[in-house]
Amino acid sequence: MKLKSIILTTILGLFYPFSLLFKVQRNRITFISLEHANLSKDFKLLYEHLQRNSEYDLKTVLFKFEPTLWGNIKYGFACIRQLFLIQSSHLVIIDYNNFVVSRFPHKKQVKVLQLWHATGAMKQFGNDVSRDYVIHNYDYVIANSEFFKPIYARAFNLPEENVMVTGIPNNDKIFHSTFVEKTKNRLLKKYPILKRRL
């Protein structure tokens, strides 16, 4: 394990027992992304849909990592915040590999859903690549098809039955006729030569 991971694990280890004292809020859903500073794509769609229902307490930890000293310090604070929100949320939705989830087990009442940012499995990811920590403690992951179930299960250290084939929210728009028509018109306007192909 690299020095950075050892330091972060040690610091978070000091806060972890205190995070377990926080009660799980039955209506709390937390979105965690350490690649985007704002809600994007699938996260944005889900958040906006859930926001229409006032019964949910929606929280976010949205952070774009910068490989500088200050960026590492901010990342450390973001990890501490994650720790407390994870242990107090009924559902945690993540879109990338997550150090805090993997290193510090969550309560049984908490469920972690991996909404992987890629549409398929075009390259190796998760535990299929060399990394500082083993990915585990995820409860569910969403996939596009049955074909990807064993790949996602292996990458995220889950049983195959916990890989749910639902499709990716951001891809739903390609089935809407309005979106298809607008996209077609935009492309034809930009590339008129395509009209010959229709």
DSSP state of 4: H
pLDDT tens-digit series, residues 119-145: 666 677 878 888 888 999 999 999 888
Strand partners, 113: 93, 140
Report domain extents, the chain.
Answer: 3-167, 170-198
Alpha-carbon distance values, 152 to 94, 167, 174 (Å): 14, 13, 23
Please give the sequence-ordered ranges of beta strands (E in DSSP) within the chain, or none if there are none: 25-33, 57-62, 89-94, 111-114, 140-143, 163-165
Distant-in-sequence, close-in-space partners of 70: CB < 8 Å, separation ≥ 6: none
Q: Strand, coil or helix: what is 134? A: coil
The pLDDT > 90 percentage for the chain reads 48
Q: Using one digit for the tens of pLDDT, what is the confidence trace for 24-61?
A: 999 999 999 988 888 887 888 889 989 998 899 999 99
Domain 3-167 is found in CATH 3.40.50.1970: no
